[in-house]
Structure 1
Amino acid sequence: MATTARIYKPARGATSSGQARTKRWVLEFEPASPRQIEPLMGWTTSTDTRAQVRLTFETKEEAIAYAEREGLAYRVQEPMEPKRRIVSYSDNFKHNRAQPWTH
């Protein structure tokens, strides 16, 4: 059974303003078997050991080359760009604002 690998660039955490851990590309394997609940302790378990593997690469091309060299089926998920405009706090007090600043 061929396992598919997913190559993607992780997004930053919702509570983080930094860009750490978002510059590298990640190769992760998609689950080959469903998770099950272990009856004694109630923990989630899986027989798929590849789910624990997470490889990082500097570029998308390196990750693709690795997957092709190892004969892995893969899919690339392109990163989504943020849809917001980054402005600084000092922009609120510019003298040439489009709308006057009021309290």
Structure 2
Amino acid sequence: MAARIYQRPKSAMQSGKAQTDQWVLEFAPSEARRADPLMGWTGSGDTQVQVVLKFPDCDAAQEYAKKHGIAARIHKTPVKTLKIQAYADNFR
């Protein structure tokens, strides 16, 4: 079982930082998705993809993965850089 651990990003529709401090462990799909011949929906028999585990910090997620024998990769959150600019700078 392969998984990835990452910090939940802020949504594009979100101005605050609610739930961005959580770390998430998601399992990678073990089989390809295929179209259902009757309805045309895509799906697979892999139910581990539906499991999303949330942790308060990265260390807790790593310990859980190690305890249960899950090979997990950690995706660090990129550093955010802000371009501080005054409104008056538009008219220079």
Give the aligned partner of residue 59 of structure 1: 57
In the alignment, which residue of structure 2 is the partner of 1:27? 25
Q: CA deviation at 1:67?
A: 0.2
Larger Rg: 1 or 2? 1
The equivalences for 1:64-103 within 5 A come to: 64-85=62-83, 92=87, 102=91
Q: Deviations over 1:22-66 (max 9, x none)?
A: 110000001100111111111111111100000000010000000
Identity %: 40
Which residue matches 2:14?
Answer: 16
Counterpart Cα distance in 2 of 1:36 and 1:49:
14
- Give me the TM-score of the superposition, normalised by structure 2: 0.87
The runs of 4+ residues in structure 1 deviating greater than 6 Å are none
Q: What is the RMSD computed on CA atoms of the aligned residues?
A: 2.0
Instruction: Give aligned pairs, total.
Output: 92
